[in-house]
A and B are shown apart, each in its own frame.
Chain A
């Protein structure tokens, strides 16, 4: 598998593809990617500036850290303030600004917040500290949710009673539906997430073409993958035939990972969820079901936040809906940089603002 990477970056293969893509010059095409890793690849390899200007690559709600609602961010911060709790989370959540504080700030003040690289680590901490409550702040889409589900199953098996999960997990397909329903931005086709699709499979997106007539292609992450995906979408759009195709055949199947899906079903139930920028989307979140209540931090601890306010002047909401490009935010690169982020889209390495800032701040700098 590893050897493949070089082939996917071979300039000899890339050039003709770019040429073919340039022949789609008859109209504007707007394609949306809905995965943080795609955002980064497109920015990092300069794909946005390599394709002609009439092909617009928009970033959607693909960054899990970014779509977490302000209220959930505040709740996690509240949990961290409880001296009986060790809050375990992925690194990117640390600096996300809540209404008044952030996890990083609380940690500096003495709160017990640990950055975990895996849920296994959090479980181990729980076992080592029976006197404390370990709460895993679960953020992510279908990609990370299974590992969190497994951690709950494992905790149950190992009889670890001081472990629980604050689940803010979200599902990608309902968000795509919400975007199309709103009709706020024109989306001619979706570059569909590779990692999420490993779990949920191609079948989860069929409603896009069947109900909305919008094509989608599940894509890998290398420059070649993304360019092939773009060409596949352009072809579909031009021929006015919408279907869901798979460019990432080396990892994604039609049915997805049934084993992971089973674990999700066992531990979670589908619930409405609040998304930053989009609002409440029906049936778009994963809450822990009754059977595993003992591992549900939102039941175990009574966290209340009086009010939550998103950072003023931050356009993350519009950025996440693809309405604005990060460049169009007044604060981008001025009041808001990765060192001093105002909104989550600048904090998370998968956030559109951070990726555009790091890689595209000075776009189209060609030799």
Chain B
């Protein structure tokens, strides 16, 4: 029996496409949402500031330990909203499918899109599907845009870090990066590492519930480029110096092990379910406590603090030897060592 696959004709706009959308796509993602078939969705938005974000996902491979591109697309966009202090409202979903994709794979991706959206409490309200010739895409590309509202009193931005603030990380770093790498390279790690892809909006809400909104200065998810890159971006935007201690940054043993084998630096590995919180010092302990009480923040730790800029914005890391060095942004891509 040959397996059902996506054909170019599925993208032609004709009956095949309608059937694909009506039978395979919509039923899977409309769980909990009221998906309409009009050209645009109508949204009821509270009379508050609106946050809008968009992101495209081209992860290779689309399936990895701990998730797939669908989970990533929803989590990523929800997190982009949450990092602005926004409460997510609705999501659009555009699929670019390479001809030849197995229908079963598409369905698995859609299922996790629906599950993740449900978990985050966001509705998928509009979408688009295109099919491209073999070779024009890598199995599937996904674009998601998200809308949310920012409750009054919240003002989080990468440019709000102030000297004296404390830097909190919500959990272990490098999990997603290593999960993807080991999938790509067929590392066969003895202890497989799961991607941490997950929506963080509930964690963010818990933080806002527990400490004053104006104490929360920066929220950022250290995705591509890793923690090192994110901290550098914040230091530059806020014109401050950030100092962290390497020993305090939580890294899973299996991630450390994989990094040792591959010659990677966890500080530069991607994360899809972690956040950096920069908070006023007097509320740091409370924020940490609240984060640690949640599943997604149970490994949270204070990793450093913000200082006045000396000559120029920078990030320093204190090594285990007690020496300090600059922590620079990732330049290019990390490749496995060959030495």
A-side residues, CB < 8 A to B, are 1-3, 5-6, 9-11, 14-15, 18, 35-37, 40, 44-47, 49-50, 62-65, 90-92, 95, 115, 117-118, 120-121, 139-141, 143-144, 193, 195-196, 221, 223, 337-339, 349-350, 358-362, 365-367
Subset of 9 A-B contacts with CB under 8 Å: A2-B257, A14-B321, A46-B321, A90-B335, A92-B338, A117-B185, A223-B319, A362-B325, A367-B318
| Residue in contact with B338 in the complex, picked from A2, A40, A90, A95, CB distance below 8 Å | A90
Stretch at the interface among B30-38, B201-209, B326-334: B326-334
CB pair B263–A349 under 8 Å, yes or no, is yes
On whether A339 and B331 interact (CB within 8 A), knowing A44-B265, A140-B338, the answer reads yes
What is the 8 Å Cβ interface bit string for chain B, positions 314-326, against chain A (1 contact, 0 not)? 0010111111111
List 15 other contacts, CB 8 Å, given A45-B321, A361-B326: A10-B320, A11-B322, A37-B337, A44-B319, A45-B320, A92-B335, A117-B184, A117-B336, A140-B338, A140-B339, A143-B338, A193-B339, A337-B331, A362-B325, A366-B324
Complex Cα gap A35–B263 (Å): 12
Residue from B181, B184, B326 having most chain A Cβ neighbours under 10 A = B326
Min Cβ gap B339→A in Å is 4
Min Cβ gap A134→B in Å is 17
- Whether B308 sits at the interface, judged by CB under 8 Å, is no
Complex Cα gap A282–B265 (Å): 36
CB pair B185–A349 under 8 Å, yes or no, is no
CB pair B319–A45 under 8 Å, yes or no, is yes
CB pair B320–A37 under 8 Å, yes or no, is no
- Whether B253 sits at the interface, judged by CB under 8 Å, is yes
Q: Which residues of B contact A35 (CB under 8 A)?
A: 339
Q: Determine the residue in chain B with the shortest Cβ distance to A220.
A: B260
Complex Cα gap A282–B268 (Å): 40
CB pair A50–B323 under 8 Å, yes or no, is yes
CB pair B186–A350 under 8 Å, yes or no, is no
B-side residues, CB < 8 A to A, are 181, 184-186, 191, 247, 253-254, 256-257, 260, 263, 265, 316, 318-326, 328, 331-339
CB pair B260–A5 under 8 Å, yes or no, is yes
CB pair A141–B320 under 8 Å, yes or no, is no
| Residue in contact with B339 in the complex, picked from A5, A9, A120, A141, CB distance below 8 Å | A141
CB pair B322–A90 under 8 Å, yes or no, is no
Min Cβ gap A357→B in Å is 8
Q: Determine the residue in chain B with the shortest Cβ distance to A46.
A: B323
Complex Cα gap A349–B330 (Å): 11
Complex Cα gap A366–B318 (Å): 9
CB pair A46–B325 under 8 Å, yes or no, is yes
CB pair A40–B263 under 8 Å, yes or no, is yes
CB pair A350–B319 under 8 Å, yes or no, is no
Q: Which residues of A contact B316 (CB under 8 A)?
A: 365
Complex Cα gap A221–B257 (Å): 12
Complex Cα gap A64–B322 (Å): 31
| Residue in contact with A37 in the complex, picked from B263, B323, B335, CB distance below 8 Å | B263
On whether A221 and B319 interact (CB within 8 A), knowing A37-B339, A118-B185, the answer reads no
Q: Determine the residue in chain B with the shortest Cβ distance to A196.
A: B339
On whether A143 and B253 interact (CB within 8 A), knowing A11-B322, A46-B319, the answer reads no
CB pair A65–B320 under 8 Å, yes or no, is no
CB pair B332–A95 under 8 Å, yes or no, is yes
CB pair B339–A50 under 8 Å, yes or no, is no
Q: Which residues of A contact B338 (CB under 8 A)?
A: 64-65, 90, 92, 139-140, 143-144, 350
CB pair B185–A350 under 8 Å, yes or no, is no
Q: Determine the residue in chain B with the shortest Cβ distance to A354.
A: B331
Residue from B320, B331, B336, B339 having most chain A Cβ neighbours under 10 A = B339
Complex Cα gap A160–B319 (Å): 48
Complex Cα gap A92–B328 (Å): 19
| CB-based closest 9 A-B pairs | A46-B323, A91-B335, A2-B257, A36-B339, A117-B185, A338-B331, A9-B320, A2-B253, A50-B321
Min Cβ gap A31→B in Å is 17
Complex Cα gap A367–B325 (Å): 10
| Residue in contact with A50 in the complex, picked from B253, B322, B335, B336, CB distance below 8 Å | B322
| Residue in contact with A350 in the complex, picked from B260, B318, B321, B339, CB distance below 8 Å | B339
CB pair B323–A5 under 8 Å, yes or no, is no
Q: Which residues of B contact A195 (CB under 8 A)?
A: 339
CB pair A2–B254 under 8 Å, yes or no, is yes
Q: Which residues of B contact A144 (CB under 8 A)?
A: 338
Complex Cα gap A349–B324 (Å): 20
CB pair A365–B247 under 8 Å, yes or no, is no
Complex Cα gap A65–B336 (Å): 13
Q: Determine the residue in chain A with the shortest Cβ distance to B324.
A: A365
On whether A358 and B328 interact (CB within 8 A), knowing A14-B321, A44-B319, A45-B323, the answer reads yes
Complex Cα gap A143–B228 (Å): 29
Q: Which residues of A contact B256 (CB under 8 A)?
A: 2, 5-6
On whether A91 and B333 interact (CB within 8 A), knowing A3-B253, A349-B263, the answer reads yes
Residue from A3, A45, A115, A120 having most chain B Cβ neighbours under 10 A = A45
Residue from A6, A14, A349, A359 having most chain B Cβ neighbours under 10 A = A349
Complex Cα gap A44–B263 (Å): 12
Q: Determine the residue in chain A with the shortest Cβ distance to B321.
A: A50
| Residue in contact with B253 in the complex, picked from A5, A15, A118, CB distance below 8 Å | A5
Q: Determine the residue in chain A with the shortest Cβ distance to B256.
A: A5
CB pair B335–A349 under 8 Å, yes or no, is yes
Q: Which residues of B contact A361 (CB under 8 A)?
A: 326
Complex Cα gap A140–B263 (Å): 15
Complex Cα gap A74–B186 (Å): 31
Min Cβ gap A320→B in Å is 13
CB pair A221–B335 under 8 Å, yes or no, is no
Q: Which residues of A contact B335 (CB under 8 A)?
A: 90-92, 115, 349
Min Cβ gap B167→A in Å is 16
Complex Cα gap A18–B333 (Å): 34
Min Cβ gap A144→B in Å is 5
Complex Cα gap A117–B60 (Å): 13
Q: Which residues of A contact B260 (CB under 8 A)?
A: 5, 221
CB pair A366–B253 under 8 Å, yes or no, is no
| Residue in contact with A18 in the complex, picked from B321, B326, B328, B334, CB distance below 8 Å | B321
